[in-house]
C-alpha cells in the first residue's frame, strides 16, 4: 500500500532551469557535471511517474538585453539569446537520455534537423507517454524571457505547478548572499511579488500564472533530492499562489 503522504503532490509540472544554474561554478557556458546532476534529479521524478517538462534559459551563454545595451539591435540580440537556449536544451536532452529517459526537444523557432517544432497537442501527448519535453527557444519572440516562456508553456500544458529551480532555496526579503539579515518567505501571493517588486520571475510571467491559477514554487535545484521533496510538498521552498 502506498502511503498517501509519500505520493507526489504535483502530478504534472513545468521546471524552469535558468542558464545560470547550468553554468555551475564557472563564469560562463555549460558545466556538464551540473547538467548531469540536474538531469539525474529530473530522471528520478520522471521515472516515478510525474509528468515533467522543462524550459531552459540561456543566460549562461548569451543575454539579449546586455548585448543590446552594448550597441546591437535588440531583436537580433534576443534571437541569439534564444539560440543559446537551444544549445542548453540539447545538452540537457543528452544528459537525460544517458540516464535512459525518453525526451523530445520542441523549439519555438523551427529547426527541423535538431528539434521538433513546438506543437502544443503533441507536447501534451509526449508527456502522457512519460517523455520529458524540453521546450527550447523561449517563446520564439524577441523582447520576452524564458521566464515568460515557462509560464506560457506551464499554462498551455495544464501543469499543476511551475517550479523555478534556482541556486537559492526560495524567495528572500533581500539578496541572502549580500545581506545577512535577509529572511526567506514560505508563502507569498502573486500580488506580493508584483507590488514589492521581488526578483522571482518577470512580471509578465507572474501575471500569467496568477490568471491561470498555477502556483509557482521557488527552490534550490542545487541541493540533492530537492526536486523530489518539492513534488512531495516537503523541504525548503517558497510557494507563490493566491492562498490567504
Which residues are near ligand UDP by CB under 6 A?
18-20, 57-59, 63-65, 78, 81-82, 84-85, 138-139, 141-142, 144-147, 149
- By beta-carbon proximity to ligand UDP, the closer residue of 82 and 231 is 82
Cα gap 217→54, rounded to integer Å: 14
For ligand UDP, the closer of residues 144 and 190 by Cβ is 144
Are 115 and 86 contacting, i.e. CB atoms less than 8 angstroms apart? yes
Least distance to ligand UDP from the beta carbon of 24, Å?
Answer: 13
Q: Is the dihedral of CA 138, 144, 150, 153 positive or negative?
A: negative
Find the shortest distance in angstroms from Cβ 145 to ligand UDP.
4
> Would you mind telling me the total number of residues written for the chain in this entry?
244
Closest approach of ligand UDP to the CB of residue 164, in Å: 10
Q: Give ∠ CA 38-40-41 in degrees, rounded to 5.
A: 65
Helices (H), the chain: 19-22, 32-47, 64-69, 74-98, 120-128, 146-157, 190-195, 203-212, 226-231
Instruction: Write down the least CB distance from residue 198 to ligand UDP, Å.
Output: 16
Q: How far is the CB of 112 from ligand UDP (least distance, A)?
A: 20
Output 58 or 170, the one with its CB closest to ligand UDP: 58
Residue with smaller CB distance to ligand UDP, 50 or 107: 107
Which one-letter DSSP state was computed for residue 33?
H
- List the grid coordinates of 153: 508553456
Q: Which is nearer to ligand UDP, 9 or 80 (CB)?
A: 80
For the bound state, the minimum distance from the C-beta of residue 243 to ligand UDP, rounded and expressed in Å, comes to 27
* Identity of the residue, 84 or 134, whose beta carbon is nearer to ligand UDP in the bound complex: 84
Give the separation between CA 83 and CA 28, rounded to whole angstroms. Answer: 16
What is the rounded distance in angstroms from the CA atom of residue 13 to the CA atom of residue 17? 13
Task: Give the C-alpha separation, 94 to 112, whole Å.
Answer: 18
Across the strands, what pairs with 165?
17, 219
Amino acid at each position: 500500500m502506498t502511503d498517501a503522504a509519500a505520493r507526489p503532490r504535483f502530478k504534472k509540472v513545468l521546471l524552469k532551469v535558468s542558464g545560470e544554474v547550468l553554468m555551475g561554478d564557472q563564469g560562463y557556458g555549460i558545466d556538464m557535471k551540473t547538467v548531469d546532476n540536474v538531469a539525474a534529479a529530473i530522471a528520478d521524478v520522471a521515472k516515478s511517474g510525474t509528468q515533467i517538462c522543462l524550459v531552459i534559459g540561456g543566460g549562461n551563454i548569451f543575454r539579449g538585453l546586455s548585448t543590446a545595451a552594448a550597441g546591437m539591435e535588440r531583436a537580433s540580440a534576443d534571437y541569439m539569446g534564444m539560440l543559446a537556449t537551444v544549445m542548453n536544451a540539447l545538452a540537457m536532452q543528452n544528459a537525460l537520455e544517458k540516464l535512459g529517459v525518453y525526451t523530445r526537444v520542441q523549439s519555438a523557432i523551427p529547426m527541423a534537423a535538431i528539434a521538433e517544432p513546438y506543437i502544443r497537442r503533441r507536447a501534451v501527448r509526449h508527456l502522457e507517454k512519460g517523455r520529458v519535453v524540453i521546450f527550447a527557444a523561449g517563446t520564439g519572440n524577441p523582447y520576452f524571457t524564458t521566464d515568460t516562456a515557462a509560464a506560457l508553456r506551464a499554462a498551455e500544458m495544464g501543469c499543476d505547478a511551475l517550479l523555478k529551480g534556482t541556486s537559492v532555496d526560495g524567495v528572500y526579503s533581500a539578496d541572502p548572499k549580500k545581506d545577512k539579515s535577509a529572511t526567506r518567505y514560505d508563502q507569498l501571493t502573486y500580488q506580493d511579488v508584483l507590488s514589492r517588486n521581488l526578483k522571482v520571475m518577470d512580471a509578465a510571467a507572474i501575471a500569467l500564472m496568477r490568471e491561470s491559477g498555477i502556483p509557482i514554487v521557488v527552490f534550490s535545484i542545487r541541493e540533492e533530492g530537492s526536486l523530489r521533496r518539492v513534488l512531495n510538498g516537503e523541504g525548503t521552498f517558497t510557494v507563490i499562489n493566491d492562498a490567504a
